């Protein structure tokens, strides 16, 4: 039977169209925030104090006053900066730990990078046709940095003081000088944080992406971190006290094989610390997450293509390792215990797996 088409209510069409344009607006607001971060405009506006004008900001930054005025009005229109008259502008106090202070755990401006380059998007569109994905490498160095910027603030501020003490005996072992590997290390941020906090350890980063390892090499400086363009198969058996896999297991085409491989790299008292994106495994419950659409967008453009980049890939997607799935994966790979620790990090949870 043919479905009867009824014309939609024009008011609902209008409201729906507005909702769609607001998403377009979000894209442009993010771009404006990126420019603000790149040109240090938030820092300058903060230093300039309440009620600053575009001319004052121009004097302070050496940038063009007309461009600054339009940017400031864009910020005020988006509600990121306060202004009633479009002439004088104030950065509210709550913006400082989000847009100015790079050391703050809530710093978000660094993650508001421009959208994917057209060549990457072409690959994703093609993946819709073929069902086979795109390697992380295709995202390029900018992609590796973009991904790192999203997780950086929490890894820098919470890993050592809040996460590690929740794993029995781990801090003591790290102080004594442990062998640590990060699988799927990306730009090696977690290893850099650990190598600074526990200088007696030996640190190895593994990632099959030469782009990510290239970016990591530029950042590790003199820290005692060896980097390998390789996956789990290159990791020696029984060699590590601690293996980290942060925001990466769901990206792997064969997480089951990787988990079994990690098990081999650990002695019986070793620990695998996995950081995964917070999800319940139930879409209806996950709807409470105010940035769920962003997470699914990341999934379609980044995580899912990576997880389908090999034949028979699991394609878990960004939200693909909720507690039950992680528990099953760990047990099947030969881990005797899989525990979850939740430090109330808004986007992530941590799993501790022991042989």
Residues in contact with ligand SAM by the rule CB under 6 A: 136, 147-148, 151, 183-187, 189, 207-209, 212, 231, 246-248, 251-252, 258, 306
| C-beta of 36 vs 231, nearer to ligand SAM | 231
- Cβ 110 to ligand SAM shortest distance, Å: 13
- Cβ 136 to ligand SAM shortest distance, Å: 4
| C-beta of 81 vs 159, nearer to ligand SAM | 159
SS3 108: coil
Taking CB atoms, the residue at the shortest distance from ligand SAM is 186
| C-beta of 110 vs 151, nearer to ligand SAM | 151
- Cβ 234 to ligand SAM shortest distance, Å: 10
- Cβ 17 to ligand SAM shortest distance, Å: 34
Q: What is the DSSP string of 265-288?
A: HS-TT-EEEEEEE---S-HHHHTT
- Cβ 76 to ligand SAM shortest distance, Å: 33
- Cβ 287 to ligand SAM shortest distance, Å: 23
Contacts of 177 (CB under 8 A, 6+ apart): 198, 200, 201, 202
Q: Give the Cα-Cα-Cα angle 255, 257, 259 (nearest 5 degrees).
A: 65
| C-beta of 68 vs 235, nearer to ligand SAM | 235
Residue 12, Cβ density class (10 Å: 0-12 exposed, 13-18 middle, ≥19 buried) = exposed
- Cβ 11 to ligand SAM shortest distance, Å: 42
Nearest-angstrom CA–CA distance, 228 and 235: 10
| C-beta of 69 vs 275, nearer to ligand SAM | 275
| C-beta of 152 vs 327, nearer to ligand SAM | 152
Distances (CA, A) of 9 to 23, 46, 184, 205: 22, 46, 50, 56
| DSSP code, position 226 | E
Cβ 170 vs Cβ 149: under 8 Å: no
Nearest-angstrom CA–CA distance, 42 and 33: 9
- Cβ 301 to ligand SAM shortest distance, Å: 12
Residue 197, Cβ density class (10 Å: 0-12 exposed, 13-18 middle, ≥19 buried) = middle
Give the other-Cβ count within 10 Å of 311's Cβ: 8
Give 284-289 contacts, CB < 8 A, sequence gap 24+: 286/319
| C-beta of 61 vs 245, nearer to ligand SAM | 245
Rg (CA), the chain: 23
| C-beta of 99 vs 249, nearer to ligand SAM | 249
């Amino acid at each position: 039977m043919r479905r009867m088409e009824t014309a939609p209510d024009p008011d609902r069409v209008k409201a729906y169209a507005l909702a769609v344009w607001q998403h377009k607006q979000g894209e442009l607001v993010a771009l404006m925030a990126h420019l603000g971060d790149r040109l240090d405009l938030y820092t300058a506006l903060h230093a300039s104090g309440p009620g600053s004008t575009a001319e004052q900001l121009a004097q302070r930054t050496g940038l063009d006053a007309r461009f600054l005025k339009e940017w400031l009005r864009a910020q005020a229109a988006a509600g990121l900066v306060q202004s009633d008259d479009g002439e004088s502008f104030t950065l509210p106090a709550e913006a400082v730990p989000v847009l100015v202070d790079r050391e703050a755990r809530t710093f978000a401006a660094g993650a508001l990078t421009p959208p994917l380059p057209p060549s990457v998007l072409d690959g994703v569109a093609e993946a819709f046709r073929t069902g086979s994905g795109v390697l992380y490498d295709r995202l390029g160095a900018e992609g590796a940095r973009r991904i790192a910027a999203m997780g950086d603030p929490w890894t820098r501020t919470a890993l050592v003081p809040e996460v590690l003490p929740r794993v029995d005996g781990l801090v003591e072992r790290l102080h004594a000088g442990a062998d640590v590997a990060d699988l799927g290390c990306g730009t090696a941020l977690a290893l850099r944080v650990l190598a600074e906090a526990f200088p007696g350890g030996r640190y190895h980063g593994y990632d099959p992406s030469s782009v990510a390892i290239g970016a990591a090499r530029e950042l590790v400086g003199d820290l005692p971190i060896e980097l390998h363009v390789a996956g789990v198969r290159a990791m020696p058996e029984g060699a590590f006290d601690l293996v980290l896999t942060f925001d990466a297991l769901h990206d792997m085409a064969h997480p089951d094989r990787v988990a079994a491989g990690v098990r081999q790299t650990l002695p019986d008292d070793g620990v695998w610390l996995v950081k995964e994106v917070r999800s319940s495994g139930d879409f209806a419950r996950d709807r409470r997450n105010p940035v769920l659409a962003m997470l699914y967008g990341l999934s379609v453009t980044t995580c899912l293509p990576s997880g389908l980049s090999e034949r028979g890939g699991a394609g878990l997607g960004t939200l693909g390792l909720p507690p039950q799935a992680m528990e099953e994966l760990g047990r099947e790979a030969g881990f005797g215990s899989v525990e979850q620790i939740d430090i109330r990090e808004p986007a992530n949870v941590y799993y501790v797996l022991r042989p």
